[in-house]
Structure 1
């Protein structure tokens, strides 16, 4: 697999890394703790997992993200490991600490709120970002309202364009779930689905001719939302 394909795979994996089912900013007034787990499929076969756990302590929301993937594209093997911790006060990101292992390449980012800026110290970018920027972790529905994201792998500031495709019915855990489908293009190219309450329920993308899909393992009701 080319270095370009590997880079795209890991960017999307870390993200892995907007009608009636459409969500508005008022749909979720406060963060709801919970845990969501996706099985990552490549061409229909399991290659990994993506887990997001959200908890609250006083006025701070803590988020832990773990992604593990391993498989082959043709004769070339790949492995990917991502760990990230986010801290939020209300809708404000206060800190971010992530590490990323892509085959033999390591990346990381630490970011902290200081005044009107998020100070970023990453392998891909060091400097200030606006305090309003959101990380590319996708669990927060408001992420799809952004035109620029903080890359959770290395701290780069990534420009994206998001369009709502429409409403669909997904089969999750044997139940029909109405969800809004969004297409993200730019520095990140992926498709995302959120249910009527803003919970993240699916991701799909293609890399090097391979189709990747997130199959939700945990129930929708147990999933976190902002």
Structure 2
């Protein structure tokens, strides 16, 4: 694969994972649920992104799966991401992710130890602040962060997020009011959350291609913090 095609594929993988009115973070546990997005490239389906949140006693468990395959011009790509997060209230206690982009493999594990998350990733090994959040975007409070733990390889990524405004999205034939946010940092990504903080859309451009997340599950059954 050429260096240009490798860069395009890498940027695409970054966008998929990094995506994502401020709502105050609280100590309450997240609301369980499942959200599924169909990933469109230039209007054509190329994959899925699924987030499932469940509760077990005082712990919140999160499973994330992204699968995608397609072409950017003549260049084919495949992408597979799996991640598990464990939370106690709004505190991330552990994370374990694997990332496969064509033939390139990345991974990260993180565990809470006192005031730090101990990170062991292909992109970073060391301590991160216990308050840092992963780049999975299902939690609304992620948009209030200036640094994120990259769920692909453990790097600490700097981001800037600005609110664009309120829009009405059509989800399953139903109009949904959503707040639109623009993320700038490792990639340029736009994210939408409804008034309760549920993630309802993502859009970005990579290598001249337009990608859009179309929600295929109901908003009411989606997880939120």
TM-score higher than 0.5: yes
What stretches of structure 1 of length at least 5 have no aligned partner?
none
Q: 1:98 to 1:143 in 2, by over 3 A?
A: same
Which whole-Å CA distance do the structure 1 matches of 2:183 and 2:62 have between them? 23
Cα deviation for residue 129 of structure 1 reads 0.2
- What SS does the corresponding residue of 2:159 show, helix, strand or coil? strand
Q: 1:79 to 1:18 in 2, by over 3 A?
A: closer
8 Å CA contact 1:21–1:179 kept in 2: the answer is: no
Counterpart position of 1:81? 80
Cα deviation for residue 7 of structure 1 reads 5.0
Cα deviation for residue 13 of structure 1 reads 4.6
Counterpart position of 1:108? 107
Which whole-Å CA distance do the structure 1 matches of 2:102 and 2:153 have between them? 15
Moved over 3 A (4+): 1-15, 18-30
| Residue-by-residue CA offset, 1:83-126 (whole Å, 9 max, x unaligned) | 00000000000000000000000000000000000000000000
Counterpart position of 2:14? 14
Cα deviation for residue 188 of structure 1 reads 3.1
Cα deviation for residue 25 of structure 1 reads 3.9
8 Å CA contact 2:81–2:98 kept in 1: the answer is: yes
- What SS does the corresponding residue of 1:15 show, helix, strand or coil? helix
Counterpart position of 1:207? 206
8 Å CA contact 2:39–2:212 kept in 1: the answer is: yes
Cα deviation for residue 18 of structure 1 reads 16
Which whole-Å CA distance do the structure 1 matches of 2:86 and 2:19 have between them? 32
Q: 1:18 to 1:210 in 2, by over 3 A?
A: closer
| Residue-by-residue CA offset, 1:71-90 (whole Å, 9 max, x unaligned) | 00111100000000000000
| Residue-by-residue CA offset, 1:3-26 (whole Å, 9 max, x unaligned) | 566556556656631999764446
8 Å CA contact 1:151–1:158 kept in 2: the answer is: yes
8 Å CA contact 1:163–1:183 kept in 2: the answer is: yes
Q: 1:20 to 1:63 in 2, by over 3 A?
A: closer
Which whole-Å CA distance do the structure 2 matches of 1:189 and 1:182 have between them? 11
Cα-Cα RMSD? 3.0
Which whole-Å CA distance do the structure 2 matches of 1:20 and 1:66 have between them? 16
Give the TM-score of the pair, scaled to structure 1. 0.92
Is 1:193 equivalent to 2:185 in the alignment? no
Cα deviation for residue 67 of structure 1 reads 0.1
Which whole-Å CA distance do the structure 2 matches of 1:119 and 1:157 have between them? 12
Q: 1:5 to 1:122 in 2, by over 3 A?
A: same
Which whole-Å CA distance do the structure 2 matches of 1:11 and 1:134 have between them? 21
Counterpart position of 2:3? 3
What stretches of structure 2 of length at least 5 have no aligned partner?
none
Give the TM-score of the pair, scaled to structure 2. 0.93
